[in-house]
Amino acid sequence: MVLSGVGDALGYKNGSWEFCRSGERIHAEAKELGGIGGVAVNPKGWMVSDDTVMHIATAEALLTEWSDSDQLYSAIALKYKECMRDMAGRAPGLTCSSKVHMLKPHAKEGWVIPFDRKGGGCGAAMRAAPIGLYFWRPEQLDKLVSVSIESGRMTHHHPTGYLGSLAVALFVSYSVQKRPLREWGAGLLRTLDTAKQYIIQHSPQRDHKEHMDNWTYFEQHWKDYLALRQLTSGKTDAVFEDHDVKSVKERDASTRA
């Protein structure tokens, strides 16, 4: 989590790098600072963004005293609301800030918000790492799935949003388990079946069609990427072609394509 915060502070650079659309400019400025190894990251000159504040909130909620899922989800919702007081200069996303405002931690199922057709951003993923640290054992997979989905859809109630939360939590658990990287993507695809069943069982009937209609985008993009890298089976290491190596400018163009 500390390294994640350092990386966030570097990438955010008080907002100037996160919102800069030119990779070449960012690389040039980093070089002027002496390169990544020459940057002295400190809280005064390099503040963390909303990402770190919210993943700390997730961790704090997990460490509260809770005995059932309802108590845990209420704690997560409360921590998300509280952390919004520490967002000055951290550029929280509109989806996160507006949806957190809707949460009612002390009400019955007050962490539940309506399905959001525009809730497919990365705000759920950015704060999910502590879930993988807490529920890292293979036998805790069902709990990891449920908590990552429910915490994710407190703000990003859309498959592309809350499945991002699941992916981050799952990959962190794999890291703690010391599973080979080649197995991670295939493991995620298998886990998506568990996630789909969870959504069907724990979502209002009226929302089932919305979830299923928007499910394939996330899943298919992962299938395509794993096929590209020959990782579908999870038994071979990733394959990168020579032409995959791009300049900063080419990567920018490829990302926007």
Residues 185-243: pLDDT tens digits? 999 999 999 999 999 999 988 899 999 999 999 999 999 999 999 999 999 999 987 66
Residue of 149, 154, 56 lying closest to 105 (CA atoms): 154
Q: Flag whether the pTM goes above 0.85.
A: yes
Mean pLDDT for the chain overall: 95
Residues 154-173: pLDDT tens digits? 999 999 999 999 999 999 99
Other C-beta atoms closer than 10 Å to the C-beta of 98 total: 13
Other C-beta atoms closer than 10 Å to the C-beta of 177 total: 12
Q: Tell me the two tokens of residue 176.
A: 């703690």
Other C-beta atoms closer than 10 Å to the C-beta of 232 total: 16
Annotated binding site for Mg(2+): 49-51
What pLDDT score does 38 carry? Answer: 87
Three-class SS of residue 186?
Answer: helix
Homologous superfamily of 49-256: ADP-ribosylation/Crystallin J1 (1.10.4080.10)
Q: Tell me the two tokens of residue 162.
A: 């809350």
Annotated binding site: 49-51
Backbone angles phi and psi of 131, in degrees to 5:
-65, -40
Mean pLDDT of 171-178: 98
Taking a C-beta distance cutoff of 8 angstroms, is the pair 124, 162 a contact? Answer: yes
What pLDDT score does 204 carry? Answer: 86
CA distance 30 to 24: 10
Domain ranges in the chain are 1-48, 49-256
CA distance 196 to 212: 8
Whether residue 18 is predicted with pLDDT greater than 80 in this model: the reply is yes
Non-local (6+) Cβ contacts of 198 within 8 A are: 145, 146, 149
In angstroms and rounded to an integer, the radius of gyration of the C-alpha atoms of the chain is: 19
Residues 125-134: pLDDT tens digits? 999 999 999 9
